[in-house]
Chain A
């Protein structure tokens, strides 16, 4: 559901080049703190991958290898984790991620029309990022805010009770 048919270059998304894939000393201390929270340090893998994505923009293969090193894991096992979960981006994503729920309640409330509207407005199809690197559009499974269907997640925020007009207002805020 979240394939990336068209991938913008890393440069315009303001992302670190592979050579810069290292955490700062403060971040490394945070990695160690997270690892210490669990009986097995590996349990901090998901949180550290979140951190890595926030830092480097997306979880590139270089990031996977780097994180694998921090956990003494084989890169293949980190790759398994990264490809299993939907929230890790393996290719550069837009500055904003717009994820429209297409599951049952939102479907009943017209999610398809919202997605169509977004595709038209952004000039991309689901899974793609706008050419200016501003927005990656996704259509996702239930975000568990069905009482406000149709709904979507814009970056960290849930946006409820969508109409095309409301979607337009939300898009205007995204720079």
Chain B
């Protein structure tokens, strides 16, 4: 369980963000190896590694890369999603600040695999320091000749919108528009940024790539479960003794993460609930934490691994208040494009707010559940489904707590 650290191996070094430190710890050794490989062989290696997207959706990375049309004549773009915004998640901030060259090397390999000559790194606007660190690393990589020889990287700053973490919302924003997600089809791999085939990958996902090239798909796959390879970075916050980012296998359990790595529960010390994968993941009760944290493990538990942002709540936490906070977030961040999401995120927040203020009515809870269920799956992107996760699970699993707030 206390597996070897891959992504965080340099985090203890004060100079971990520099080219020198990266090289000194084995950096930029995968890139020459990848250059000797056929692009198709790189894609195959990533497929075999069972690397899955670590931004939230958990889609197999190699498979995603294979969707780029073969023999496409025009440009292909690699876009890195560094628009970290899922509440409870902060891993990419660490990677950008502390190991930016890992991302650059991963991008070089990925770009070769998908035959891309230009990559864009979309960093959320609030991340000023991570942006500076990463931009400086890009300059170093140009100076050292890693970049600028067949592959260029443009560092792009967002301007404050959670929806730009959605891959087509990100593309729209990168194109200089509102971050309105795009209709699919066409999928980005066919028609993405600037109308060209595009792969959008999360920072952490790409940071894994050099390790897979260096040490082989089989090794990486063996670190995880049957359907998901490797380690990942868990962001742990809320009522725990040691909040922070932890790298561990995707196969550890939520209990191990909370008690062994994060030191256990604070507050009154008794666990009430856990959000396992960022705020969009359905909440788990204290008796539901003996699940592995891989994509499929959490899916089977009725929630999702998402971005591995784990928010811990002890018994003193008010779940209705927590839902109100979460509902406010979705109401504020709904892009406004699709009717069900635009109209109901605000309404549900109003209802949650009323309930917390003691102005709820008997039928509010069923109304929220029904509205959420009716809207689920009807929109362009997964944002609303992400909101539905908490709406439904908080109320279903802690209904009596809500009912206690409603005047009879």
Give residues in A with beta carbon < 8 Å to B. Answer: 1, 37-40, 42-47, 49-50, 71, 77, 80-81, 84-88, 99, 102-105, 107-109, 141-149, 153, 156-158
Contact pick for A149, options B175, B243, B245, B275, CB 8 Å: B243
Q: Is the CB of B176 within 8 A of A44?
A: yes
Residues of A within 8 A of B333 (CB): 141
Q: Does B313 contact A (CB under 8 A)?
A: yes
Q: How many residues of chain B are within 8 Å of chain A by beta carbon?
A: 58
Residues of B within 8 A of A40 (CB): 175-176, 194
Given contacts A85-B179, A147-B245, 6 further A-B contacts (CB under 8 A): A46-B156, A46-B157, A46-B176, A104-B88, A142-B86, A146-B89
Determine the distance from Cα of A156 to Cα of B129 in the docked complex, in whole angstroms. 7
Residues of A within 8 A of B175 (CB): 40, 42-43
1/0 contact trace for B148-185 toward A, CB 8 Å?
00000010111111100000000001111111000000
Determine the distance from Cα of A105 to Cα of B90 in the docked complex, in whole angstroms. 12
Q: Does B111 contact A (CB under 8 A)?
A: no
Give residues in B with beta carbon < 8 Å to A. Answer: 75, 84-90, 92-93, 118, 124-129, 154, 156-162, 173-179, 193-194, 196, 235-239, 243-245, 275, 279, 309, 311, 313, 317, 321-322, 325-326, 328-329, 332-333, 335
Q: Is the CB of A46 within 8 A of B243?
A: no
Q: Is the CB of B275 within 8 A of A104?
A: yes
Question: Which of B156, B236, B333: most chain A CB closer than 10 A?
Answer: B156
Contact pick for B125, options A87, A105, A149, CB 8 Å: A87
Determine the distance from Cα of A99 to Cα of B160 in the docked complex, in whole angstroms. 12
Q: Is the CB of B176 within 8 A of A102?
A: no
A-B contact pairs, 6 of them (CB 8 A): A40-B194, A43-B174, A102-B325, A103-B326, A104-B311, A144-B86
Determine the distance from Cα of A19 to Cα of B158 in the docked complex, in whole angstroms. 28
Least Cβ distance of A55 to chain B in Å? 16
Contact pick for A144, options B90, B157, B322, CB 8 Å: B90
Least Cβ distance of A115 to chain B in Å? 12
* Residue in A closest to B236 when the chains form the complex, CB atoms: A147
Determine the distance from Cα of A99 to Cα of B128 in the docked complex, in whole angstroms. 14
Residues of A within 8 A of B88 (CB): 104-105, 142, 146
Q: Is the CB of A145 within 8 A of B90?
A: yes
Least Cβ distance of B236 to chain A in Å? 7
Least Cβ distance of A11 to chain B in Å? 26
Q: Is the CB of A81 within 8 A of B177?
A: yes
Q: Is the CB of B237 within 8 A of A147?
A: yes
Least Cβ distance of A97 to chain B in Å? 11
Q: Is the CB of B325 within 8 A of A103?
A: yes
Given the known interface contacts A39-B75, A39-B196, A85-B160, the answer about A147 and B235 at a Cβ–Cβ threshold of 8 Å is: yes
